[in-house]
Structure 1
């Protein structure tokens, strides 16, 4: 790289150009001339120094061309090139000045006295080698001219796709910010268009008056801007016209006028669920949204990490509306013209993104699944779920005591106290004091993460590790409980946020707090679930979930006759499958054989390799491979189906669910084995997990509609992957159970029945089944 810099700077100097080299390598100092400069960072990027000829001379006592001679004597630790011991920059410069250069110094090395002279004579070969390696080549054949290096317009979409795949969010913003700066002389398309927009403000222009030209079914962009946790302003936009509204100024009449406008127009927005909540606090409902840009972008590119409006405008409109994406919401607050530009971009996004959704056969999925379920999720978030604070506080205190007891027990084993949260101190205890087998080596020593410690415990069964793992587990549970306590609002309920655009498979996730990761298989986790209770006016919680839904989807999609037979037998699925695989009667299938087949079935559905299966079952990779082979001997249709998933995805570039949801996997053709194998596992997993996610979304939409029509007061509170949690009245119990079962079991027609299990109790735990 340094030789390339040297060659380009020489080409530039010959062309009469002034050149600046940004480099942290001091070897580039030899390139400094009256027209070539080095921008050197020093100890940090905030300590930038411009190295011109005088700066090099002041620092090293020689002219820039002699810097390689200084470096040859002193050495370069960064390049692992040792110099003459005891010789620094000052001594080296004195020698070079006295003898007239390095060549003369070497010839007269015997004339240099003292210990340093002796060291010089002992290291002459090092000096010669350093001089040879430090000298930069200035005539590398680059096969380019300077004109070829001029920055030209680039393929913005191509750069977007590359940066998305590499997750270069910050670099992307910086690159496009520079591109915007380069185009300052010519206004961007958005800026020139926005000048022509007739912009009004409320209340100078009333809602009803501004909305008068808007006819039934016209498109209307609504773009709010946040200040803290509330709407500071919002913009209404139709072609050529915009109205900027401060919601503080809305009286009841104006709110009604706004509601009427939303009901009449086809609303286009971005992050609609957030705005539903905030407008809802003022008694205003968006109604049926026509187009939601974030959801549309998610369906088109589900593996992308974010869907901010400026990035969408760049991708689908080739329009720059904000230089720094991280600041785009802030810019809405400080600049009315920027508000209008963004609202205009939001409006303009509808046509190209709708066309792209149609092209990918995703418009129906967008209109009939994602938009309706977003409205259901908004209702669920608004309602929240009741929390028993006394139970949570008691649980927190109990877990705190358990953390202390586990720590004391660990200290007793080793005979002294230690910080159980300190990797460095744990490394000393585990590998020095207790002489345990070493874990994976990292930059800071041997790893002490949870996975490594669990494997180490399986190897050694050492009591210190048992107490340490117990300590970590109880801390994690206590943090969960304390997080729940902090999330209880003044209404005594926890209002989680359901994210639609985070999981590439289509699964919903829960945040602030995450109610989908409350443990269900440990006693402490079940105790936490006891704290989730019905609110006043309701009598119980009802839980309903799909039984073995991934396996049912696999049976349907693979059309494997044996797997379908196992489902239709009415017996325990995994015991029946184990009997088929191991050729034994069902009543002779023990828990070990059943668990092996269950792990294999779900492992295949989630793209688990033989290695992953071996880790899960605690068996060798060879045994896991043999188990897979036996499984596929009996369920050959499953093997063909899974192989076909990967090959078809490799051919077309994506996988699809039963409802047509696509997940694009470009790494299926990658030359990087690790990336390719990861994509292959995703190709196995996405159609099955994605179909399961789609099915429960359809069930939620149907159930919401059925509840609205029934007039019942019972309501849906949570979705936890394959499970729904409702708040019910005992008087409505029988009717609610019928509605839930019908909505869930009829969400889709499969070759095997969708089995729905239900339970009712006075808290989430007791409602389990």
Structure 2
């Protein structure tokens, strides 16, 4: 059997994954994009390479033995962004779950570990595969060692053998270090010889083979300047070769034989995938088998499948489960209903329940108490059948979410398992998933649904006690549960979409795209594929001669951040950015919205996630109406398609002005912030004055824009890296901005210090309404995990309180509209904005009621401010 040794350059792959993928968070708020990219790469390696032996090597620290040769080695590298550093421990945990050895050695780099092991592997007749994003590794190639270099981020690899290297680069593996000696390496700050690039270095090596031979024949080298540079920088060249040479005899304490690999246990890997939120990868590690292996023997359950509902089935407080196989409950059918009381359990087939006057009477009786799982889903699903569920006294889903918002699984079996109760079977075990998803025989379905309903009663007792102990019961009963019923009505009502207008906008966008396309061609002087970086790059950087910001392995980078930096260099850049924005509007929003409109009613019924974010904010899916872009006019115009559902009605929108900054002023008790808000000053202008040390009259629009980014960045715990990315400035400038901000607002600085200490003492932080977020990593010995938890401690009370305030405002407004007997109704919530529809004759009353409810829902040290607008569409209500 062939022995296969796979050696992975951990640092290189993680870095490439981080910058290749957008910043992603799991439901705990931890950044996971680098871990996700690394994981997909690792799975592909295991599938394709089928290693018998494997190791992932990491750099041990900033200082290596090479620094004694050249102290500036790797100098000038920017500090690793905290969003990336905090992912390294997660990658190592992931490798442990895969049973894959990882190793690092003080004073040595991952390259040296890999070089040493590849030489061991070669001597012991292993077939060796090295995986890295660094072409320095090409010096290790031999008849037994293949170096796989990642390209296109990490989505593809290029396998280098001696023959392929000679064909591709016209040099041998041994000449890679000679190449680096001549041309240097900016990323490692290896100087090389000035003026010598890859082309010149390759030409010299093809002619003279080695560095020594080049200098032995220096008189023969053509080009006066080249000869002069080679002469003056001979020491640099030889030193550069030494720096670029991988140490294949490093004093590592691991041998090839210790790296044997016999695979991973699906259960262990599935667990960490679930923790990280990598649901899409579960099937790739055999998670189906894990579910099958962990079946529990369940207790016997006595239940009745009823063919006729009678009123004596309901004794006063029932647990109710309305079973649907899909989260998309607006369109999914009800598969059956489970009802249990203190004495008996029943399964009611859907048709039996819907056609029964007794069931409808019980469901709509607000005096008949009901324990449910997911009140919002339960209400919406029955509203579709003409039944308005009332009398809900406890929602197990929302209770579980409040008790631990960091959990990513709040279904009944998972909650029961965490609380220590005998679990019901997982839905996937009963129904299957994906293409295998199906409704089982009625007996199997009935037992599963009734078991869920029975479990709700047991869960309520335990969860209510825990909620009270943690002072969360009031939050559940007075905020989250009333809100769930309001959201259910909003979802069921839906919002009318003017389909012809949306289609018309699609045609207008297509025409505008064609116009912008022609303008780009005129500015470029030729036609080309604007969406192809390979064609766009040469147009911008060769034909038009724009400055090159960044190069990739495949050519010039034309990414959005690069084009933003070139915005003022040529008018074609603005056109290209506009073209991309318009293209996204067309595909994602025009076409996307048309796919989800109910053609019979012309309505869209979005779904609000109430038990998802750790801060308590609502999110919206199917479709996500909170993400319609409004920074360009074409994006704002999409809101023209959202119109009232009745003739002579209007759309009315009200939104909080800078609510998170006002909450920050209150929580931090910062005198300057409080004063600014009380006086009605423009907070961004005030911050610009403080950060840039200028008078009000000297504040430019760009200064205000940057100050605004700092203001909101502070609220979100932004790092200097994050701020530099959003503003297109250096990290040094971003760091200075943040420092000046904190100097200007000492109350904010004190709050940040105090809240971190409080979190370390308690293990959690709270909002003004006592919502909790647990931060177990706040006392971690790992600097990166601890730093992330500290940033989270600072921003969660602000974001969470703002989320709680708008939720309370929705409850207050809903009650007020009902008390005033008004027809106006809430349709949508988009972050800090509420959108209503109402008869035109109620407009004057709305102008009075809506801002009053929003501004007086809580009392802060600064005034809350709500702006409103109205019109014939959501677009007009701006």
Scaled to the shorter chain, the TM-score interval is: 0.7 to 0.9
Question: Is the Cα–Cα contact under 8 Å of residues 220 and 265 in structure 1 kept in the other structure?
Answer: no
Question: Is the Cα–Cα contact under 8 Å of residues 310 and 325 in structure 1 kept in the other structure?
Answer: no
Question: Is the Cα–Cα contact under 8 Å of residues 324 and 332 in structure 2 kept in the other structure?
Answer: no
What is the alpha-carbon distance in structure 2 between the residues aligned to residue 263 and residue 270 of structure 1? 17
Q: What is the aligned partner in structure 1 of residue 760 from structure 2? A: 650
Q: What is the aligned partner in structure 2 of residue 36 from structure 1? A: none
Once the two structures are TM-superposed, the CA of residue 721 in structure 1 deviates from its matched residue by 1.1
TM-score by length of 2: 0.65
Q: What is the aligned partner in structure 1 of residue 417 from structure 2? A: 314
1:293 to 384, 396, 401: 396
Question: Is the Cα–Cα contact under 8 Å of residues 401 and 410 in structure 2 kept in the other structure?
Answer: yes
Question: Does structure 1 residue 210 correspond to structure 2 residue 309?
Answer: no
Once the two structures are TM-superposed, the CA of residue 73 in structure 1 deviates from its matched residue by 9.4
Q: What is the aligned partner in structure 2 of residue 487 from structure 1? A: 596
Question: Is the Cα–Cα contact under 8 Å of residues 721 and 734 in structure 2 kept in the other structure?
Answer: yes
Q: Equivalent residues in 2 for 1:131-530 (5 A)?
A: 137=257, 164-167=274-277, 169=279, 188=297, 191-192=298-299, 195=300, 197-203=301-307, 205-211=308-314, 214=315, 216=316, 218-226=317-325, 229-239=332-342, 241-250=344-353, 252-254=355-357, 256-257=359-360, 259-260=362-363, 263-322=366-425, 325=428, 328=431, 333-334=440-441, 335=444, 336-411=446-521, 417-422=527-532, 448-455=558-565, 457-458=566-567, 461-462=569-570, 465-479=573-587, 480-489=589-598, 490-530=600-640
Alpha carbons of structure 1 residues 422 and 301: separation in structure 2 relative to 1, 3 Å: farther
Once the two structures are TM-superposed, the CA of residue 636 in structure 1 deviates from its matched residue by 0.8
TM-score by length of 1: 0.73
Higher Cα Rg, which structure: 1
Q: Residue 267 of structure 1: SS of its match in structure 2?
A: strand
Alpha carbons of structure 1 residues 294 and 426: separation in structure 2 relative to 1, 3 Å: farther
Alpha carbons of structure 1 residues 423 and 669: separation in structure 2 relative to 1, 3 Å: farther
Q: How many residues align?
A: 641
Question: Is the Cα–Cα contact under 8 Å of residues 121 and 256 in structure 2 kept in the other structure?
Answer: no
Once the two structures are TM-superposed, the CA of residue 622 in structure 1 deviates from its matched residue by 3.5
Once the two structures are TM-superposed, the CA of residue 619 in structure 1 deviates from its matched residue by 4.1
Once the two structures are TM-superposed, the CA of residue 448 in structure 1 deviates from its matched residue by 5.0
What is the alpha-carbon distance in structure 1 between the residues aligned to residue 583 and residue 123 of structure 2? 56
Q: Residue 244 of structure 1: SS of its match in structure 2?
A: strand
What is the alpha-carbon distance in structure 2 between the residues aligned to residue 327 and residue 411 of structure 1? 58
Q: Residue 530 of structure 1: SS of its match in structure 2?
A: helix
Once the two structures are TM-superposed, the CA of residue 694 in structure 1 deviates from its matched residue by 0.5
Question: Does structure 1 residue 76 correspond to structure 2 residue 186?
Answer: no
Once the two structures are TM-superposed, the CA of residue 300 in structure 1 deviates from its matched residue by 2.4
Q: Residue 231 of structure 1: SS of its match in structure 2?
A: coil
Question: Is the Cα–Cα contact under 8 Å of residues 600 and 613 in structure 1 kept in the other structure?
Answer: yes
Once the two structures are TM-superposed, the CA of residue 614 in structure 1 deviates from its matched residue by 3.8
Q: What is the aligned partner in structure 2 of residue 106 from structure 1? A: none
Structure 1 window deviating more from structure 2 (665-674 vs 395-404): it is 665-674
Question: Is the Cα–Cα contact under 8 Å of residues 550 and 605 in structure 1 kept in the other structure?
Answer: yes
Alpha carbons of structure 1 residues 736 and 339: separation in structure 2 relative to 1, 3 Å: same
Question: Does structure 1 residue 662 correspond to structure 2 residue 772?
Answer: yes
Structure 1 window deviating more from structure 2 (274-283 vs 399-408): it is 399-408
Q: What is the aligned partner in structure 2 of residue 112 from structure 1? A: none
Once the two structures are TM-superposed, the CA of residue 688 in structure 1 deviates from its matched residue by 1.0
What is the alpha-carbon distance in structure 2 between the residues aligned to residue 725 and residue 73 of structure 1? 70
Question: Does structure 1 residue 550 correspond to structure 2 residue 656?
Answer: no
Once the two structures are TM-superposed, the CA of residue 618 in structure 1 deviates from its matched residue by 4.3
Once the two structures are TM-superposed, the CA of residue 447 in structure 1 deviates from its matched residue by 5.8
Gaps of 5+ in 1: 6-21, 29-68, 86-128, 141-150
Q: Residue 413 of structure 2: SS of its match in structure 1?
A: helix
What is the alpha-carbon distance in structure 1 between the residues aligned to residue 342 and residue 438 of structure 2? 22
Q: What is the aligned partner in structure 1 of residue 800 from structure 2? A: 690
Once the two structures are TM-superposed, the CA of residue 681 in structure 1 deviates from its matched residue by 3.0
Q: Residue 198 of structure 1: SS of its match in structure 2?
A: coil
Q: What is the aligned partner in structure 1 of residue 167 from structure 2? A: none
Once the two structures are TM-superposed, the CA of residue 676 in structure 1 deviates from its matched residue by 3.9
Once the two structures are TM-superposed, the CA of residue 702 in structure 1 deviates from its matched residue by 0.6
What is the alpha-carbon distance in structure 2 between the residues aligned to residue 538 and residue 259 of structure 1? 37
Once the two structures are TM-superposed, the CA of residue 642 in structure 1 deviates from its matched residue by 1.9
2:873 to 755, 763, 766: 763
Question: Is the Cα–Cα contact under 8 Å of residues 177 and 323 in structure 1 kept in the other structure?
Answer: no
Q: Residue 324 of structure 2: SS of its match in structure 1?
A: strand
Once the two structures are TM-superposed, the CA of residue 757 in structure 1 deviates from its matched residue by 1.4
Gaps of 5+ in 2: 6-46, 54-119, 131-139, 146-248
Once the two structures are TM-superposed, the CA of residue 732 in structure 1 deviates from its matched residue by 1.6
What is the alpha-carbon distance in structure 1 between the residues aligned to residue 624 and residue 121 of structure 2? 60
Once the two structures are TM-superposed, the CA of residue 743 in structure 1 deviates from its matched residue by 1.4
What is the alpha-carbon distance in structure 2 between the residues aligned to residue 454 and residue 592 of structure 1? 14
Residue-by-residue CA offset, 1:75-96 (whole Å, 9 max, x unaligned): 61436784589xxxxxxxxxxx
What is the alpha-carbon distance in structure 1 between the residues aligned to residue 647 and residue 454 of structure 2? 46
Question: Is the Cα–Cα contact under 8 Å of residues 666 and 860 in structure 2 kept in the other structure?
Answer: yes
Question: Is the Cα–Cα contact under 8 Å of residues 360 and 387 in structure 2 kept in the other structure?
Answer: no
What is the alpha-carbon distance in structure 2 between the residues aligned to residue 579 and residue 463 of structure 1? 32
Residue-by-residue CA offset, 1:650-698 (whole Å, 9 max, x unaligned): 3322221111111223333445544444333332221111111110100
2:674 to 538, 560, 564: 564
What is the alpha-carbon distance in structure 2 between the residues aligned to residue 74 and residue 428 of structure 1? 46
Residue-by-residue CA offset, 1:164-188 (whole Å, 9 max, x unaligned): 543354788989876776677xx63
Residue-by-residue CA offset, 1:566-616 (whole Å, 9 max, x unaligned): 122233333345556666654554444444433322221121223433444
What is the alpha-carbon distance in structure 2 between the residues aligned to residue 134 and residue 610 of structure 1? 38
Q: Residue 408 of structure 2: SS of its match in structure 1?
A: coil
Q: Equivalent residues in 2 for 1:55-74 (5 A)?
A: none
Residue-by-residue CA offset, 1:47-77 (whole Å, 9 max, x unaligned): xxxxxxxxxxxxxxxxxxxxxx999797614
Residue-by-residue CA offset, 1:412-442 (whole Å, 9 max, x unaligned): 5556654444556656766787787777777
Once the two structures are TM-superposed, the CA of residue 562 in structure 1 deviates from its matched residue by 1.7
Alpha carbons of structure 1 residues 681 and 161: separation in structure 2 relative to 1, 3 Å: farther
Once the two structures are TM-superposed, the CA of residue 270 in structure 1 deviates from its matched residue by 2.1
Once the two structures are TM-superposed, the CA of residue 464 in structure 1 deviates from its matched residue by 5.3
Alpha carbons of structure 1 residues 242 and 503: separation in structure 2 relative to 1, 3 Å: same
Question: Is the Cα–Cα contact under 8 Å of residues 687 and 711 in structure 2 kept in the other structure?
Answer: no
